[in-house]
Amino acid sequence: MQSNHDSPTLIIGAGPAGLAVAGRLSGMGLPFQLLEKSDRVAASWHAHYDRLCLHTVKEHSDLPLMPMPEAFPLYVPRKDMIAYWEKYVRDMNIAPLFGQEVRKIIREGTEWRVETDKNVFHAPNVVVATGYNRVPVVPVWEGREHFKGTFMHSREYRNAASFSGKKVLIVGIGNTGAELALDLHEHGAFPFISVRNPVNFICRDIGGRPAQRTAILLGKLPDWAYDFIARQVQRLTVGDLSAYGLKTPHYSPSEGLRRYGKVPVIDIGTLDLIKQGKVRILPDIQRFNADSVTFINGETEPFDAVIVCTGYRAQVEDFIENAKPLLDERGYPKRLWFDDEAYKGLYFCGFSIPLSGILRNIKMDSAEIVAHIRRQVG
């Protein structure tokens, strides 16, 4: 393997978190090297489903030092986001090293040794920006191997073209599951959603005002006040969904996110379809059959396809030596950096609880990380 000793800061991952850190360092004239396992920036966004659109407003979804174009809509579509990030790389003089999949990050003396499948790098500072969505989660179900229909994780879904006229079971009603149900319905499929746990819904816009802007204002209040207001707004705008098979948690959307890391579902039309009976809610799965699925209430429904929207894991412990003490119960880093000498110079961007939007958090966290790095290098 070729050995490299060029940069005091290595950034792992050229998604929005890695680009935010790189952009800030570039703006300050501080040297760095950005490593990316794929052949492009924001690789996961290139692979996401076609209709993906931000649920956060553009003024709180940009990267440091480069606002989004005024011509962009309030909620920016996937392709426009990718174009914006690609322009950011050019304008901020960021030159990622592509095809560098990090296999191991190990502490060696006062530096970190970063091994990719092609090279070895050494640096006093390493910023891990590989994101929440690194490893897809696919639960194990009885009889799954006997199911003859289409079966896929949401990571493989692009659009509804091949599902027109088919009965499709979506497993999980997070933001992806809810949006795929909408996409499937609009393209002539018959979507059903299997829901295991209570879930908080919030409307993306309330009275013509984006919920994110309101959340940012409410975030300045004490937690108890924020939670109380969030619950009252939810009751007024969403209401009781139990008649449709959806239970609401005992905690408000803001408390669920802050305390349990439970991201609420930001509704852009799926709830109306559920209330109209165009998307049917089913309980947790008991088992798969050859051409159907049996649920824990004993009901069995035939399906042509199953799309699993059960999320991802970050699993940074796969490549960071002795990472377990740094992680919370959900497997995310507990802090942006750690003062322990054994972890000095190791940073994490893009893993914070997104109380007012992941991209907004990334912008704020990258500022703290780069300020800390600058203090360390003098």
Judged by DSSP in three states, 366 sits in helix
Residue intervals of the chain classified under CATH 3.50.50.60 are 2-134+314-377, 136-308
Hunting for tokens 């972890």 — which residue is that? 343
Please give the single-letter amino acid code of residue 286: Q
CATH code of domain 136-308: 3.50.50.60
pLDDT bin (cut points 50, 70, 90) of residue 339 is confident
Check residue 348 and give its pLDDT.
97
**Which of 337, 340, 339 is closest to 352 using CA atoms?**
337
Whether the Cβ atoms of residue 317 and residue 323 lie closer than 8 Å to each other:
yes
Q: What is the mean pLDDT of the chain?
A: 94
Segment 45-75, tens digit of pLDDT: 998 999 999 999 999 999 999 999 999 999 9
Query: What is the rounded distance in angstroms from the CA atom of residue 156 to the CA atom of residue 222?
Result: 41
Q: In the chain, what percentage of residues exceed pLDDT 90?
A: 88
Give the torsion sign (CA, 343, 345, 349, 354): positive
Judged by DSSP in three states, 231 sits in helix
Query: What is the rounded distance in angstroms from the CA atom of residue 241 to the CA atom of residue 263?
Result: 18
DSSP 248: P
Identify the architecture of domain 2-134+314-377 in CATH. 3-Layer(bba) Sandwich (3.50)
pLDDT bin (cut points 50, 70, 90) of residue 134 is confident
Query: What is the rounded distance in angstroms from the CA atom of residue 158 to the CA atom of residue 169?
Result: 16
The backbone region for 165, taken as left when phi is positive above 0, alpha when psi lies in -120 to 50, beta otherwise, is left
Query: What is the rounded distance in angstroms from the CA atom of residue 176 to the CA atom of residue 182?
Result: 10
Query: What is the rounded distance in angstroms from the CA atom of residue 152 to the CA atom of residue 259?
Result: 31
pLDDT bin (cut points 50, 70, 90) of residue 4 is low
Segment 206-264, tens digit of pLDDT: 888 999 999 999 999 999 999 999 999 999 999 999 999 999 999 999 999 998 888 99
Whether the Cβ atoms of residue 259 and residue 251 lie closer than 8 Å to each other:
yes
**Which of 16, 117, 22 is closest to 373 using CA atoms?**
22
**Which of 169, 128, 129, 137 is closest to 155 using CA atoms?**
137
Segment 272-330, tens digit of pLDDT: 999 999 999 999 999 999 999 999 999 999 999 999 999 989 999 999 999 999 999 88
